[in-house]
Structures are given as structure tokens and as C-alpha cells.
Amino acid sequence: MPATSLTAEHPVERKPAPLPSLGGPGRQNRHLSGRVERANQGCTNRRMILDTLGCRICIMGPSGSGKSTLATAIGRSRGLPPIYLDQLYHRPDTNWQPRPAEEFTALHDEALLGARWVMDGNYSRSLPQRLARATGVILLDVPVMTSLLRYLRRAWFERDRHGGLEGGRDSARWAMIHHIAVVAPHSRRRYAEMFGGIGLPKVSLVTTQELTRFYRLEGLDR
């Protein structure tokens, strides 16, 4: 997927190292891509499963799946600046008011030019540019009820959450609850199909247990 305004570093394909299982003894790594590509420039100090994902990682998944928390944890562990697309898409000091589309696109494409980052968010219209620049992808697809409970928890109890809007305040909104419970399940299937066609190193975590195990295996702190 070419990104006309961006200059991507060309990944160097190498023989992949064996990857640890996320599902315990005897379970196959069915959520791990067998193809490993790594970009050399600016990528150092890698390990374990994250070794295969390089130094520009996209994290995708439905609202409330834990994308921002994971981006923060990976950024802290690997020294990758976390970029939260919700913060680029919405105006600060508002109740999640969107920016004009061209303003978001400019901020998005500028962020992509960084040599190292971990980026949280979907925004499918700008996904081709993101994937053209990324070195690895993580898809979170935890159950709908888990996403809904996480959304309510952050709306009611978390004031300084990862990826929150500067000057804004989360509140439980019926529109968002409807989106998570009714709209998002259809998007989940679409993103799962899209994920299957991505040729980058990738990891799919589809249960809370797998996500927890990923944190443990990678030595990540929430």
C-alpha cells in the first residue's frame, strides 16, 4: 500500500526466530504471523514477540479493548513515543469535538514520519498510510462485554487515563455504549478480515487471558 506523501524505510526480510506461545503448553501460535520483516534504521533493544514488530507499531481494536494502555506500556518498555490517534482526531479542551478532516490528516501524516513510535487507533481512512510506514501490527479483539465494562470504568472512575483528551473529561454516553455494543461487532469482523491480509509481522490477541499473558511475556507494566 503506497503512501504517496511518505518515505518509508524498506524492511529487511530475515528468517524468523521461534516465537513463544500465548496460549500455554501445546497450543499453536495461530495468532502470530509466520513472516518476519524488520526495519534496521533506528530499531534497537528489541526482545521476545515484540522483537518481530520493529520500532513502528500500529495497535488496532475496538473501543475499550486496551489499545491506549498497551501503547503506553510498549512505549515505556521500548522507548517508543506513544501516539494516540484519538488525541489527533479531536480538539483538546472540548467534549471530544472532531477536528476538520484535513487538519487530522496533516497531524496524522506528520506523526508517521517519526523514526520510532507505537500508534494506537483505527481510523480506517488513514490506515493505508499507516501500514505503509509501520513495521508491525497488533490487533486487540477482546469480547464485547469486556470492552463495554472497560469503557464504563474509565468514564466513571479514571480521570487521567492513557490516551485521554487534554482538557477533556470522559463521561458515559449512550451513543458510545451503542457503538461498542451494536456497531463495533460488525467492524470487528471487518478488521479481522483486513488483519488477515496485512503482510507485516503481526500479533492478534482475542481474549483477556491472551492480553494478560502478552504483558507478562514481554515484561510490560500496565
Instruction: Encode pLDDT of 59-101 as tens digits.
Output: 998 888 889 999 999 999 999 999 999 999 989 888 778 999 9
Q: Please report which confidence band the pLDDT of residue 24 belongs to, taking 50, 70 and 90 as the band edges.
A: very low
Asked whether residue 69 is assigned to any structural domain, the reply reads: yes
Q: What does the pLDDT average to over 105-114? A: 97
Which cell goes with 4? 504517496
- Does residue 28 lie within any of the structural domains? no
Whether residue 201 is contained in a domain is answered as yes
Instruction: Kindly state whether residue 15 falls inside one of the protein's structural domains.
Output: no
Choice between 43 and 182, residue whose per-residue pLDDT is larger: 182
Is 202 inside a domain boundary? yes
Output the domain CATH number for residue 78: 3.40.50.300
In a domain, residue 179? The reply is yes
pLDDT in tens, 140-152: 988 878 777 877 7
- Residues of the domain holding 60: 39-218
130: in domain: yes
> What share of the chain in percent tops pLDDT 90?
42
How many domains does the chain contain in total? 1
Cα–Cα distance for residue pair 82/75, rounded to 1 Å: 6
* 31 domain residue, yes or no: no
pTM of the model: 0.72
